[in-house]
Amino acid sequence: MRGKVKVWLSNDDVGFFGPGALKLLKFMDEKASLKAACAEMNLSYSKGWKIIRNIELGLNCAILTRQQGGRYGGGCSLTNAGRELTRKYEELSKRINEVTQEIYKEIFGED
């Protein structure tokens, strides 16, 4: 047994970024396609866009660059702000969970 927390970023108690959104952005960056990332996560494409819009509203900046389809196909990639968000969120989650483990051991003792 161990302690664990889920980290959410929010504005005025409205969460806009958490573990699921991080996973979506990482898949999207890897596949250069929101559609492919949504398929990987079993999310509808419209739900994926809703998540992206909520993140962009929460941050008040674009996190994706979009290229329209056409002869060579479309695609998406993370902006610098999107990459920075994923990097900082992962660091925040890691550090919060490290502190959580220290507190857990203090309260519950070692395994």
Assign 30 a pLDDT band (cuts: 50, 70, 90): very high
* CATH number assigned to the domain covering 18-98: 1.10.10.10
Q: What is the pLDDT of residue 46?
A: 96
Q: How far is CA 8 from CA 37, 75, 101, 107, in A?
A: 21, 27, 18, 24
**pLDDT of 56 above 90:** yes
Mean pLDDT of the chain: 91
Mean pLDDT in residue range 41-67: 94
Better-scored residue on pLDDT, 68 or 9: 9
Domain edges within the chain: 18-98
